[in-house]
Amino acid sequence: MSTLGSVFVSEQSGNITFKQCDIDVKREFHNPVIEYGKDGIKYFTFGREDLKGPWAGVNNYGVSFVSVDSYLESDNSGVVNLNKVDSDIYLAYKKILAENKTAQEASEYMKGFYKSFNRPDMLLITDAKHTFFIEANNNEVECIERRDGFFTSTNHFRMLNRGVLYPLNHSTYLRLSRSEAILSNNTGIEDVYKVLRDQYFGESVFSICRVNGETPHKEEACYTQASVLFFSEGDIVNCVYQLNGNPKSNSYTIIQDVFGAHSVSREHDNIDLYKKSVQIELMTERWY
């Protein structure tokens, strides 16, 4: 399914938000577009052919969101319940971007929404100064706030009950462990890139950069089809993404100052991200 997170870059007073999107059926991911909300808000959304609204996005106030599906514990049949995000919730996701100027406001809106929403969901909302992570299910809502360091999640509840246990889905636990291990270095954007391209468990569903060539029993045959990163420092919002593939095989598109200059470039070398290509130098100059 997915891996998401945020990393505060303390020296630059900014926040990096990311998501790796893994699904089991090939879908067409649309190029991002700028839309317009209320009271001067502009927002940058990522869509997909089968969704009613965005699966990720950021607005000109630096408020962004990403979400993941949840694996719940098995029922009496021994079958793991994979709970995909309900289709109607994508309209609420759009309101996060279109109507809120801080992550605090957006998180309060969503916590209220979840009180009358019975399906499970896991949601990350950020801006330059704050990260809010919400787990919700059957009107029960838990929310944590982070203002430093990093936070990352995969597809199992850790605050609410009924999260799938390790014996019934190894991948969500293994991907979380790898993401936490890499981000513990907390050096910023390079660690986030390492997370998204990580294949510690090879080309398999157990790696963060997932390949479904071989799917063991009880694991979902999901594979990576898109990746997105947002950076907000308050005045500037930058974005990096790749669509309809994975970051090991696809090059990134880099947009500096999404709502201003909107300078677009491509990652020069999709084999070695850390070569001092012109694109990466430009990106890190703005991000740091």
Supply the pTM of this predicted model: 0.88
**pLDDT tens per residue, range 1-11:** 799 999 998 76
- Mean of pLDDT over the chain: 85
**pLDDT tens per residue, range 152-207:** 999 888 888 777 765 667 888 899 999 999 999 867 889 999 999 999 999 999 99
Token digits for 198? 């990580």
Give the pLDDT mean for 255-269.
87
Q: What angle do CA 111, 112, 117 make, to 5 degrees?
A: 90
CA–centroid distance for 260 within its chain: 23
Domains of the chain listed by start with CATH number:
2-169+225-287 (3.60.60.10)
